């Protein structure tokens, strides 16, 4: 019976750690999207904990009670085909649990996919593109571009446009919300927001080869006023991003943080979904154009049937 105690101790330890004083990144959200997912995770953990407790209790009870050493020599276990009533019970209860979790999932999935609500300002659009093994952040509105670090204003929705100059990468800032893929032939949209100023870590979560482990970036969330000052300062001091310079940045390897005025969107526009003929890299893209997103939806529904 040692194993059960070992298991229970471990579960207890996990529960302590999850709720303990040093919170885990995913369960210590700093924005609305991260909060939603953290809530969903906690709901699912508690629901599943009930399941685990019921199964374990039943299991321990049965295995203790019906062990051979606990029974008389001449006990002959009965032949029982099954019980329709009981089988309906343990079909119906899981169905109810799954139904409950399905509702939670659908509501929360729509919520984290949409622009976070409750903010007065329009979303800030940032293009986040990965290349081996770096992240490039373009702020078309502010006309600046950064490498491997991200400054964002708090209390304002951020709309990330994700794509890749290489293998499939996954853009992830655990404390702000879930991740999404950046791919070479289409743009994905990820909606996040930060409520609390502070520094957060971000990374590529999807394996991209040799330099994958170090493909990280820093996120600094600050009030809008500070953000505007930062933008002003960059526009005054940073070098312009030329096409040659960008080509150099794309080369496989690791880079520190750097900042430029202008963005690569002008000379190296992001892929436009994957509709039409595939070689659409040459068309001019309006940041945040809604037509593009619709087309992406259509293509996906076609692919996943």
Partner 1 sequence: MKVDHSLPLEYGTEQNRLNILGFWIFLGAEIALFGTLFASYFTLVDRTGSGPTGAEIFEITPVLIETILLLTSSFTIGLGIHAMRLGKAKAMITFFAITLLLGLGFLGVEIYDFIVYIHEGATLQTSGFTAILFLTLGTHGAHVTFGLFWGAFIILQVIKRGLTPETANKAFIFSLYWHFLDVVWIFIFSFVFLKGMM
Partner 2 sequence: MDFFARFAVPNPGPTIYASMVAIALTMVAIFVGLTYYKKWGYLWREWLTTVDHKRIGIMYLISALLMLFRGGVDAIMMRAQTAVPENTLLGAQEYNEIFTTHGVVMIIFMAMAFIMALMNFAVPLQIGARDVAFPRLNALSFWLYFFGAMLFNISFVIGGSPDSGWSSYFPLAGTEYSESVGTNYYMLALQISGLGTLITGINFITTILKMRAPGMTLMKMPMFTWSALITNLIIVFAFPVLTVALLMGTMDRLFATNFFTTSNGGMDMLWANLFWVWGHPEVYILILPAFGIYSEIISTFSRRNLYGYKSMVISMVAISVLSFLVWVHHFFTMGQGALVNSIFSITTMAIAVPTGIKIFNWLFTLRKGKIVFTTPMLYSLGFIPIFTIGGVTGVMLGMASADYQYHNTMFLVAHFHLVIIPGVVFAMIAGLFYWWPKMFGFMLNERLGKWSFWFIAISVCVTFFPMFISGLDGQARRMYTYSESTGFGIWNLISFIGAIGLAIGFALIVYNIYYSIRYSTREIPADPWDARSLEWATHSPVPEYNFAIVPEVDSTEAFWDYKKKGYKLFKGKYEPIHMPNNSGVPFLMGLVFFVWGFAFVFGMWIFAVIASIGIAACLAHRSFEKDHGRYISVEEIEKTEKDLGGAKE
* Residues that bind partner 1 in the complex, under the rule CB under 8 A: 274-279, 302-303
Contact 129, 270 (CB under 8 A): yes
* Neighbour count for residue 6 (Cβ, 10 Å): 10
Name which of 5 and 223 has its Cβ closer to partner 2: 5
- The reply on whether position 101 binds partner 2 by CB under 8 A is yes
247 binds partner 2 (CB under 8 A): no
Which helix (H) or strand (E) element contains residue 24? none
Which residue, 69 or 286, has its beta carbon nearer to partner 2? Answer: 69
Q: Judged by CB, which is closer to partner 1: 264, or 274?
A: 274
Please give the Cα distance from 166 to 133 (Å, whole number): 9
Judged by CB under 8 A, does residue 21 bind partner 2?
Answer: no
Tokens 């750690």 correspond to what residue?
17
Kindly report the backbone phi and psi dihedral angles of residue 139, in degrees, each rounded to the nearest multiple of 5, phi listed first.
-110, 90
SS3 242: coil
Segment near partner 2 (CB under 8 A), from 118-126, 151-159, 166-174, 229-237? Answer: 166-174
Return the ∠ at Cα 192 (arms to 105 and 117), rounded to 5°.
75
Residue 291 interacts with which of partner 1, partner 2, none, CB < 5 to 8 Å by class: none
Q: Is 80 in the site for partner 2 (CB under 8 A)?
A: yes
In the list 19, 102, 257, 266, the residue contacting partner 2 (rule: CB under 8 A) is 102
Q: Which is nearer to partner 1, 181 or 230 (CB)?
A: 181
Q: Taking the complex as a whole, how short is the minimal distance between the CB of residue 266 and partner 1, in angstroms?
A: 23
The string of DSSP codes covering 178-241 is: --EEEBTTB-EEEEE---S-EEEEEEE-S--STTGGG-EEEEEEE-HHHHHHHHHHHHHHSEE-
Question: With respect to partner 2, which residue has the nearer C-beta, 27 or 234?
Answer: 27
Using rule CB under 8 A, residue 291 touches partner 2: no
Nearest distance in Å: CB 259, partner 2: 23
């Amino acid at each position: 019976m040692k194993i059960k105690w070992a298991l229970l101790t471990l579960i207890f330890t996990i529960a302590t750690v999850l709720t303990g004083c040093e919170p885990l990144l995913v369960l210590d959200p700093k924005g609305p999207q991260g909060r939603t997912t953290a809530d969903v995770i906690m709901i699912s953990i508690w629901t599943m904990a009930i399941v685990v407790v019921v199964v374990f209790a039943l299991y321990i009870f049965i295995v203790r009670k019906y062990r051979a050493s606990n029974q008389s020599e001449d006990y002959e276990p009965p032949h029982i085909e099954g019980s329709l009533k009981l089988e309906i019970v343990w079909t119906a209860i899981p169905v109810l649990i799954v139904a409950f979790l399905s509702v939670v999932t659908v509501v929360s999935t729509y919520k984290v996919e949409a622009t976070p609500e409750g903010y007065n300002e329009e979303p800030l659009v940032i293009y986040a593109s990965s290349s081996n093994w770096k992240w490039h952040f373009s702020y078309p509105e502010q006309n600046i571009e950064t490498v491997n670090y991200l400054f964002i204003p708090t209390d304002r929705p951020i709309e990330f446009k994700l794509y890749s100059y290489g293998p499939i990468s996954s853009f992830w800032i655990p404390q702000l919300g879930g991740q999404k893929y950046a791919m070479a032939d289409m743009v994905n949209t990820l909606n996040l927001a930060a409520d609390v100023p502070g520094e957060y870590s971000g990374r590529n979560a999807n394996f991209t080869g040799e330099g994958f482990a170090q493909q990280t970036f820093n996120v600094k969330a600050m009030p809008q006023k500070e953000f505007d000052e930062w933008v002003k300062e960059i526009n005054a001091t940073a070098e312009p991003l030329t096409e040659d310079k960008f080509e150099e940045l794309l080369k496989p390897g690791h880079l520190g943080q750097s900042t430029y005025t202008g963005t690569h969107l002008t000379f190296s526009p992001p892929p436009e979904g994957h509709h039409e003929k595939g070689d659409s890299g040459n068309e001019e893209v309006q940041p945040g154009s809604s037509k593009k997103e619709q087309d992406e939806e259509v293509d996906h529904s076609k692919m996943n049937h």
